[in-house]
Amino acid sequence: MLDERDRKILMALQEDAGLSVADLADRVALSLSACSRRIQKLEETGYIARRIAVLDREKIGVPTTVYALVKTVHHSDEWIELFRKAIADIAEIVEAHRLTGHYDYILKLVLPRVEHYDVIYKRLVKKVELFDVSASISMETLKSGLSVPVDYAE
């Protein structure tokens, strides 16, 4: 069961996972050892899945975002596993979701420029059969982040 201090720890670590335990302890009004124990418990119980660095996409050279909507006529476990492996091998595909509705999957790609989408598209269709793929280019990011609300955690 999480309390308010656990939630504050989670919110602070989502903003900056590189915070020292001392700085974090100060923010949530805990001793260094108590804060360290709470962080360890949050990791052990799976509330903290991992700690990562968020890179500047402009500096890394992949400022363009493309969303590809995918339809398939295949829905077997074998095909889904083949698709999963195909997208896992393409670093430019940074997210993939199975959907309800008109399309079966949505893929988020980060690319050096929009023309590079064709390279990735060809790599993907060589690995797995798709019925239809429709791509949209993100013109502007209005909201972006990896943080999730912690108010619902128990």
CATH code for position 114: 3.30.70.920
CATH code for position 32: 1.10.10.10
> Could you tell me whether strands 132-137 and 64-71 are parallel, antiparallel, or unpaired per DSSP bridges?
antiparallel
Which residue has tokens 């309800």? 100
Strand order in the sheet with 93-98: 93-98, 105-111, 64-71, 132-137
- 127 and 86 inside one domain: yes
Tokens encoding 146: 């990896």
Written as tens digits, the pLDDT of the chain (154 aa) is: 899 999 999 999 999 999 999 999 999 999 999 999 999 999 999 999 999 999 999 999 999 999 999 999 999 999 999 999 999 999 999 999 999 999 999 999 999 999 999 999 999 999 999 999 999 999 999 999 889 999 998 8
Q: Is the pTM of this model over 0.75?
A: yes
Distance CA 31, CA 29 (A): 7
End-to-end CA distance of the chain: 5
